[in-house]
């Protein structure tokens, strides 16, 4: 294939043209050979080669470059971490690619012309992010190995700075040798003898060791931890809601320290039901493990809950960290906790959080697959990975157990230690075992990437230990500001209705755009399913192409009892397509309140509401007001005339209420402010007609996020009273379908509801 043809194929695959400096010979291979044994350095990168991450691709290309006689560096990217879809393309180039650029010095003069190794070499490899089976991976889409310079020999390439790396084990040995008083040359000779390699063949030089020792001297391991504690005390004095705790060892040295911020504690009140505890990073300069607690808010944004630094990685250290975190959060443990596959941490969680469902992040497991199975399975690795993803996503336990055995037989993995370990720990990672528990979407690989990006920002902030707490605070504050900026347009944006369903219209006024998008996905798929009555309140729902199987749905509207055997609501807090199909078949136009969780609502707040006591005192009247409000909106949007009258009359009522005293003292002496506005977001149907749901004066700007819901307050769930109906209708008023105001005159029945 000609060079021009190869370039055209690469360009069309990415939807963009290569720039001038991307020219080169593209090595291309057929699509059916897109498997790489990534553990071998004898392979050449090829088009279609797959990697689980950018780092895996970098390491592979780095190994190839070292074998050829050059080193590489990270070059251009498309997208940015934490913004939109994040980084979607990455280029790696030869270390001699590009040309040196003259820079201005501080006094405005051009710097002197320093020598540079860059000579415009065009050798490079490009990777692009793709998603198969909803699992993101990186594929090689362009590769050129044509250099315009001489390549180095094997004994020369190891001297390039990129390959002069010192492993953590070697760093520990060098530190020990330095404490014993050995010279640098003695250290190098001893390590050569220990490793059994020739003189001068270590992957680092004498200069690298001296630089490492100098960096150790710059780190004051005795005073920095003391300064860190002093910094925490200073922050505590400035803000009493800042919390920290630490532990000293027998020599009065810092062993562990944990901290959290006032905003984090408030966020945890609303969004601490599902938490990620990441312990995969370390502060190398201080040889301390870094643990970060994060979660996700009602807009799908990453939230920070706390940090911990641990000297050792054992059960006792993890137990101290978990116990301290619970102390910060007033003893409230999360419902679910997602971690990496660490057995010490697993034991500590079982001790300190026995009621919490512990799960392993599938991302950490998948990242090891290339090393575990690519060489073992060879050309069948791709098929095995597809089978594993399908098994991982199954709904029923029985199906998982049966198909797991079939997979083992198919690929002959009966004695593989990794397969044995995965099966033994299946209750910690397989979705059929995790679906009955609420994870708020944290198990998805997309959310895992967002979490990793946030933690990388924290790691990039580390310098001196005493400044680390302040720098983490700056990262958290920046994340909060960025999240607020992204939420504002989300709140005011028009929500596009795609099904014409009253259920969809109702949900659009209650849920955040993030949660509504998830529900809308299920609504769009619901028409593909058939619903059959099995018994009173019991239904069987299955896809129209299925002959057997299906999901069992329990739906008793009069008792507001809904459940599905797929456990999608329990897992994500969003009703599944099976339940939505049953609701439409039973002429239910609104989702019952208990199935619109407060943590996904527009007005879900991380602050403690001072109205909680008063709300409990007047809960019945508030429920009545909310019912009337829902009825008012449902009736008003029928015609423009109704909407105009509703706005006019509501404005008059609201004006009268505003003239009344704005503060009321409850029986327990608490003074609170009465809410004066009720504003709902715009929604747009598929015809482009914007429906603005606003209650208040007509001249007030349209905003959102103020709709009051019945969410738990101080441990008490304010929900509607159970109502009993003689027949299912809209689910909002104490009447049957014969005199339902929403069905009157429209002759609506189950067959007439064509939206699902």
Of 533, 564, 534, 528, the C-alpha closest to 546 is: 528
Total length of the chain = 756
| Triad 226, 229, 235: Cα angle to 5° | 140
Are 312 and 282 in contact by the 8 Å Cβ rule? The answer is no
> The whole model's pTM is what?
0.59
- H helices of 116-205, in order, are 154-157, 168-179, 184-195
If you compute the radius of gyration of the chain from its CA atoms, what whole number of angstroms results? Answer: 31
Average pLDDT in the 19-44 region?
41
Residue matched to tokens 């090595």: 27
Q: Answer with the residue of higher pLDDT: 723 or 115.
A: 115
pLDDT, one tens digit per residue, over 648-665 is 888 888 888 878 875 544
Per-residue pLDDT band at 31 (split at 50, 70, 90):
very low
CA angle 505, 483, 471 (to 5 degrees): 160
Cβ atoms of 560 and 592 within 8 Å: the answer is yes
pLDDT in tens, 593-611: 889 999 999 876 543 343 4
Worst-scoring range by mean pLDDT, 102-116, 460-474, 543-557?
A: 102-116
pLDDT recorded at residue 114: 63
Query: Which among 499, 466, 5, 457 is positioned nearest to 219, based on CA atoms?
Result: 466
CA 293 distance to own-chain centroid? 12
DSSP SS3 for 716: strand
| pLDDT the model gives residue 23 | 37
d(CA 313, CA 580): 47
**Distance from C-alpha of 585 to C-alpha of 594, rounded to nearest angstrom:** 20
Write down the pLDDT at residue 690. 42
Give the DSSP per-residue string, 550-587. Answer: -EEEEEEGGGTEEEETT-HHHHHSS--HHHHHHHHHTT
- Considering the chain, what percentage of its residues have pLDDT values greater than 70? 71
Question: What is the average pLDDT across 419-436?
Answer: 94
Q: Please report the pLDDT score of residue 662 as a whole number.
A: 59
Q: Contact at 8 Å (CB) between 208 and 215?
A: no
For the stretch 99-151, pLDDT in tens is: 877 666 556 665 556 667 788 898 999 999 887 656 678 889 999 998 998 88
Q: How far apart are CA 27 and CA 29, in angstroms?
A: 7
Work out the pLDDT band at 219, boundaries 50, 70, 90. low
SS3 664: strand
Tell me the per-residue pLDDT of 614-652, one tens digit each, with 9 for 90 and over.
444 565 677 678 768 777 887 888 888 888 888 888 888
Residue 706 buriedness (CB in 10 A; 0-12 / 13-18 / 19+): middle
Question: What is the spatial distance between Cα 737 and Cα 724, in angstroms, rounded to a whole number?
Answer: 12
In which band, very low, low, confident or very high, does the pLDDT at 716 lie, cut at 50, 70 and 90? very low
Backbone φ and ψ of 22, nearest 5°: -95, -5
pLDDT at 342 over 80: yes
| 242: helix, strand or coil | coil
User: Which H or E run contains 745?
Assistant: none
| Range among 133-137, 516-520, 558-562 with highest mean pLDDT value | 516-520
Average pLDDT over the chain, rounded to whole?
Answer: 75
């Amino acid at each position: 294939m000609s060079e021009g043809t190869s370039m055209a194929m690469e360009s069309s695959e990415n939807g963009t043209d290569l720039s001038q400096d991307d020219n080169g010979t593209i090595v291309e291979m057929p699509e059916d050979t897109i498997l790489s044994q990534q553990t071998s350095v004898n392979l050449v990168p090829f088009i279609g080669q797959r990697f689980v991450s950018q780092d895996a691709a970098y390491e592979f290309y780095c190994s190839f470059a070292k074998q050829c006689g050059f080193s590489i560096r990270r070059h251009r990217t498309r997208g940015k971490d934490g913004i939109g879809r994040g980084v979607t393309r990455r280029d790696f180039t030869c270390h001699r690619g590009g040309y040196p650029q003259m820079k201005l010095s501080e006094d405005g003069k051009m710097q002197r012309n320093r020598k540079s190794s860059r000579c415009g070499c065009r050798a490079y490899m490009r990777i692009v992010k793709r998603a198969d089976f909803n699992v993101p991976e990186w594929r090689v889409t362009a590769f050129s190995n044509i250099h315009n310079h001489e390549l180095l020999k094997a004994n020369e390439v190891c001297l390039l700075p990129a390959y002069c790396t010192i492993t953590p084990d070697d760093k520990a040995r060098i530190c020990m040798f330095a404490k014993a008083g050995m010279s640098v040359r003695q250290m190098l000779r001893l390590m050569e003898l220990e490793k059994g390699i020739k003189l001068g063949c270590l992957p680092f030089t004498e200069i690298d060791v001296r630089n490492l020792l100098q960096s150790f001297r710059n780190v004051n391991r005795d005073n920095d931890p003391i300064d860190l504690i002093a910094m925490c005390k200073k922050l505590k004095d400035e803000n009493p809601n800042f919390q920290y705790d630490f532990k000293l060892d027998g020599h009065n040295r810092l062993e562990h320290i944990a901290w959290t911020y006032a905003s984090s504690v408030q966020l945890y009140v609303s969004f601490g039901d599902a938490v990620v505890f990441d312990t995969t990073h370390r502060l190398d300069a201080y040889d301390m493990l870094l643990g970060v607690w994060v979660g996700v808010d009602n807009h799908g944004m990453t939230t920070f809950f706390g940090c911990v630094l641990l000297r050792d990685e054992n059960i006792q250290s993890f137990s101290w960290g978990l116990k301290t975190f619970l102390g910060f959060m007033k003893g409230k443990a999360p419902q679910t906790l997602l971690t990496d596959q660490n057995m010490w941490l697993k034991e500590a969680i079982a001790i300190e959080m026995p009621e919490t469902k512990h799960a392993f992040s599938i991302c950490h497991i998948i990242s090891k697959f290339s090393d575990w199975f690519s060489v073992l399975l060879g050309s069948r690795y791709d098929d095995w990975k597809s089978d594993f993803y399908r098994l991982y996503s199954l709904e029923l336990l029985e199906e998982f157990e049966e198909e797991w055995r079939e997979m083992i037989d198919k690929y002959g993995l009966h004695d593989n230690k990794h397969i044995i370990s995965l099966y033994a720990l299946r209750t910690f990672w397989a979705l059929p075992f995790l679906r009955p528990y609420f994870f708020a979407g944290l198990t998805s690989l997309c959310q895992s990437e967002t979490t990793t990006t946030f933690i990388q920002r924290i790691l990039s902030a580390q310098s001196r230990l005493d400044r680390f707490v302040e720098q983490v605070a700056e990262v958290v504050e920046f994340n909060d500001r960025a999240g607020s900026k992204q939420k504002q347009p989300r709140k005011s944006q028009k929500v596009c209705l795609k099904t014409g369903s009253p259920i969809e219209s109702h949900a659009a006024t209650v849920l955040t755009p993030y949660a509504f998008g998830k529900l809308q996905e299920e609504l769009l798929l619901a028409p593909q399913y058939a619903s059959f009555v099995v018994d009173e309140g019991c239904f069987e729902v299955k896809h129209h192409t299925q002959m057997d199987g299906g999901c069992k749905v329990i739906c008793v509207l009069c008792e507001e009892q809904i459940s599905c055997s797929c456990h999608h609501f329990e897992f994500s807090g969003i009703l599944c397509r099976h339940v939505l199909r049953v609701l439409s078949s039973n002429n239910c136009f609104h989702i019952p309140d208990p199935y619109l969780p407060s943590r996904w609502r527009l007005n879900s707040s991380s602050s403690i509401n001072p109205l909680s006591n008063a709300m409990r005192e007047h809960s019945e009247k508030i429920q009545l007001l909310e019912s009337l409000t829902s009825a008012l909106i449902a009736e008003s949007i029928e015609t423009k005339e109704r909407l105009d009258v509703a706005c006019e009359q509501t404005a008059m009522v609201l004006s009268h209420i505003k003239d009344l005293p704005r503060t009321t003292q409850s029986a327990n002496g608490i003074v609170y402010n009465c809410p004066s506005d009720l504003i709902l977001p715009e929604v747009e149907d598929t015809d482009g007609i914007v429906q603005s749901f606003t209650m208040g004066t007509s001249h007030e700007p349209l905003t959102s996020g103020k709709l009051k819901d019945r969410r738990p307050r101080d441990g008490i769930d304010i929900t509607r009273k159970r109502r009993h109906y003689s027949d299912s209708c809209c689910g909002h008023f104490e009447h049957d379908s014969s005199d339902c105001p929403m069905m009157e005159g429209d002759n609506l029945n189950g067959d007439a509801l064509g939206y699902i």
